[in-house]
Chains A and B, each alone.
Chain A
Amino acid sequence: MYNKLTIFFWLVSYFCLSSWLYAETTPPRSGTHLVQIEDGWVRAVPPQLTLTAAYMQLKNLTDQKLTLVGASTLIFTKVEMHQTVFEDNMARMVPVEKLVIAPQEIVMFKPKGLHFMLIDRQQPLTVGDTVTLTLQFEENKTQTIKLEVKEDNGKDSDHSH
């Protein structure tokens, strides 16, 4: 009897301890909560246009830096990160290969600034539809997020300073 109880005790301890150790030592797992997305949206464009942009507020929830290297979706063949810049009054889009996000840092993807370019649409999209985007980080970390297709109400562009 005593023996059985001891074994039980050890087994329980083992499981508790191992799961605790596991949780402590494993890095944040993919697909879960690396980042928090707020105000995520995809710009609604005329039906025949095959490309558009996606915007969001992205917060690094982890206590380590995250390096965003790109994104993908089934709805567009290509996704690129761009930064719109104004040089000599010229509007240019500069590709962003990597984006380092410090722990707890919030990065804004917004009109006239940093954005995800969604290229070569594969199926029709209308206002209210959802675009599932998989964010890719260094070290093979990923997180899938959902963005709603919305009309630009112009609000984002006005208080951008």
Chain B
Amino acid sequence: MKFKVIIFGLVLGLILIGISYTLWPVLVKTKQLTDFKLTQHQGSAFTLAHLKGKWSFIFFGYTHCPDICPVTLTLLREVKQKLAPYPKYLADTQYIFISVDGQRDTPEKLAEYVNYFDPQFIGASGTEPQINVLTRQLGIVYIRQPEVTTGQYFIDHSATIVLINPQGEIAAQFRAPHTVATIVERYTKIRQPEPVKESS
């Protein structure tokens, strides 16, 4: 009897190892993004090509968001300031605010909004289908709420900050609530050994 239990345990263990072995690469492998087309605050197109060659912190929100969006953009500005001792990181890191409210957030409005936080921040948005091409790849969700007054509505949205590497792959996801220290620490740790491109 005892023997059977041991055999059963061993077989079960082998099966579990097998499953995790096959799933491991899928779970750990950074996810390569496919192309999307948005409009950036200066009016030109904003596509996957704009993420390549740089590290990008992306946060989704909308300008009529009174609490969490300004808080997060202020935090990203601080992250940028905290990276000052690493000029190398500072130079190839970009910060992108993507509005899930293309209806109200025209490029001009986005320009004023992102500039208010940092003149180097990039704002981008588009139509709902255009936005969804990107949000679905990143697991970002947003739900528009009924109007409070005419034309005035709020949008529930994911508070995740996504980090994209220069290859256009998801490198990290920072879940809310965020702190400047944790983001800087994780980011510099990710950057420390420059990711070696696998030749597989």
Complex Cα gap A53–B65 (Å): 9
Number of chain A residues whose Cβ lies closer than 8 Å to a Cβ of chain B: 33
Given A45-B70, A111-B67, A152-B74, answer yes or no on A90-B148 (Cβ-Cβ < 8 Å). Answer: no
Q: Contact check, A51 vs B75: say whether CB atoms are below 8 A apart.
A: no
Most buried by B among A51, A52, A82, A91: A91
**Interface size grouping (class) on chain B:** 20 to 34
Complex Cα gap A43–B77 (Å): 16
Q: Contact check, B70 vs A152: say whether CB atoms are below 8 A apart.
A: yes
Residue of chain B at shortest CB distance from A43: B70
Q: Contact check, B66 vs A160: say whether CB atoms are below 8 A apart.
A: no
Given contact pairs A46-B112, A82-B67, A89-B160, enumerate 14 new A-B contacts (beta carbons under 8 Å): A43-B66, A45-B70, A49-B63, A86-B176, A89-B158, A89-B176, A90-B141, A90-B157, A91-B157, A112-B67, A118-B66, A152-B71, A154-B78, A158-B180
Given A89-B160, A91-B68, A120-B152, answer yes or no on A48-B74 (Cβ-Cβ < 8 Å). Answer: no
Residue of chain A at shortest CB distance from B65: A91
The interface residues of chain B lying within 8 Å CB-to-CB of A148 are none
Q: Say yes or no: is A93 at the interface (Cβ < 8 Å to chain B).
A: yes
Q: Say yes or no: is B128 at the interface (Cβ < 8 Å to chain A).
A: no
The interface residues of chain B lying within 8 Å CB-to-CB of A86 are 159, 176-177
Given A46-B116, A51-B152, A86-B177, answer yes or no on A112-B160 (Cβ-Cβ < 8 Å). Answer: no
- The B interface, classified by DSSP as helix, strand, loop or mixed, is mixed
A10 to chain B, nearest CB (A): 60
Complex Cα gap A47–B152 (Å): 17
Q: Say yes or no: is B109 at the interface (Cβ < 8 Å to chain A).
A: yes
Q: Say yes or no: is B92 at the interface (Cβ < 8 Å to chain A).
A: no
Q: Give which listed residue, A46, A78, A92, A152, contacts B113 with CB less than 8 A.
A: A46
Complex Cα gap A123–B152 (Å): 17
Q: Which of A123-158 contact B (CB under 8 A)?
A: 152-154, 157-158
Q: Contact check, B64 vs A112: say whether CB atoms are below 8 A apart.
A: no
